[in-house]
Chain A
Amino acid sequence: MNDEQLKALYGDAVREAAPASACVPPEQLLALVRKEGTEESRLATLDHVMACPRCLPEFELLRSIEQAGGGADGRAKSGRNWHWYAPVALAASILLAVAVVRRTPPPGDVARGDADSVVLHAPGVSVTSGQPLSFAWRPVPGATGYRMEVLASDGSVVASAETTDTMVTPDAARQLPAGTYNWWVRASLSGGASVRSSVRLLEIRARSQ
């Protein structure tokens, strides 16, 4: 029996297995991806994870975060080394992005980010509540889809939409109460990369009586 046949049979066995009655706690998954604890305990955790259709995607979530934190190239590194190898570019982008969020763009200004980022078109900075609100942006070459989010002042998402088009009119946006919001768009590119727009101010005024 060759490796490929074994892999196919094993894949079916895992998919069709009934979920284990007792999954390993999240802390154990975390210890596994961070290489903490004894090798024996990590092997036991890994043995369960690889056979458990519930724990496997959870393990992958933690492992992906750990690896992304370990460097932009995605190579596995010790969790403890992360602080030393954290990419300067990521730190710089964080400070830049925070600064952009905190600085309100002037009315009518088109928000721009990196050279490949998404350029926002509409709506303008100020709109009236209770009306259909359409969001539009310039197409990004190679984009496979877009996600638009409207954020309240506390950062929570109050309206969002995913589309392959460059314009959306979400119902939730129409029902937003008067107030100050921000919105932005992320374009997904083939291969898993993405680019984003800057954050743009959106003031919703109460309709005059």
Chain B
Amino acid sequence: MVARFGAMVRQVGLRHRLAESDLDEVMQDVRIRLWRSQREGEQVRQVSASYVYRTAMSAAVDLLRRRRARRSDVTVSIDEHVERLTVHGRGPELDLAHAELAGRVAQAIETIAPSRRPVVRMYLAGYPREEIAGLLGWSEAKTRNLLYRGLDDLRSRLLEQGIGPERTEGAA
């Protein structure tokens, strides 16, 4: 039962950044919780699909809480940060130019209106419009409108900084 639910979750998460190891950890926790509840005498007929779902969600939130608690004890070394900045292998100059351009795009996004900014971020992260609309409970028309306005805002900000098509071609 847990495996089947886990497969469904995995299938949904395939499209984006679902970490398999996280899901395995959650499903393992779900399995243990279900076994414990049965041992305590819960009737089999009371184990419903909604019970598995609620158990999985509860296990996932607990996992995130544990991770946050561990994270507060961990520091990121400077070496690790430097390594993250130099993995592209374009050569130091191009890497620097690309990183600078990426940084300016990120800064320009910050100036977009809060109602449009998350939509632009989702779109640039690769989420299709339908998923953005579904997550926010918006109509397709509203989502499209806010997205295009947000992208226009972003391009305007970049243009104000002299970042247009010709600059991108050279750096990308």
Contact = CB atoms under 8 A, between A and B. Distances in A.
Contacts of B122: 46, 50
A196 B12 contact: no
B32 interface: yes
Interface residues of B, number: 82
Nearest to A6: B124
Interface stretch (A104-112, A125-133, A150-158, A165-173): A150-158
Interface size class of chain A, counting residues whose CB lies under 8 Å from the partner chain: 35 or more
B47 A60 contact: no
Contacts of A98: 1, 38, 44, 47
Interface in B1-59: 1, 3-5, 7-14, 16-19, 22-23, 26, 28, 31-32, 34-36, 38-39, 44-45, 47-50, 52-53, 56-57
A179 interface: no
B155 A10 contact: no
Contact of B32 (A30, A75, A95, A154): A154
A58 B121 contact: no
B172 A194 contact: no
Query: Nearest 5 A-B pairs (CB), nearest first?
Result: A155-B35, A76-B134, A64-B13, A50-B121, A69-B53
Given A11-B125, A54-B71, A57-B17, 12 more contacts: A1-B158, A5-B168, A12-B88, A19-B76, A43-B114, A51-B121, A63-B12, A65-B9, A68-B53, A90-B49, A194-B10, A196-B3
